[in-house]
Amino acid sequence: MRVEVIRVSNNGQISIPTKIREKLSIANGDALAVYATDKVIVLKRVELPTAEEFSQWLGESQAWANEAGYAEADLGAVTKSVRRKKRQ
């Protein structure tokens, strides 16, 4: 693995080297997730679903909820319960 050194601009911007963009198939306008731990910054390409994929997943989720006996009216209570558990 070859390490490349880049510089941060006055606006806090960086440029990902061409070879890395090509290797990871990162194109203009692609979404990247960024997070930091200790002294490490991590960038990860985010692949957003197509409208068709999203529609399919939504249909699968709705079918699961129906099979599990959930109704739309239950959504508020379920959401509050999950949020409460995450805060603990």
Predicted pLDDT at 33: 95
What one-character-per-residue DSSP string does 9-70 give?
A: -TTS-----HHHHHHTT--TT-EEEEEEETTEEEEEEE-PPPHHHHHHHHHHHHHHHHHHT-
Q: Under 8 Å CB-to-CB from 45, ≥6 apart: which residues? A: 24, 25, 26, 30, 31, 32
Distance of CA 30 to the CA centre of its chain: 12
> What pLDDT, in 10s, does the model give residues 29-76?
999 999 999 999 999 989 889 999 999 999 999 999 889 888 888 888
Q: Taking the domain 1-48, which CATH number applies?
A: 2.10.260.10
Q: Identify the CA nearest to 75 among candidates 55, 61, 60.
A: 61
For the chain, what are the domain ranges? 1-48, 51-87
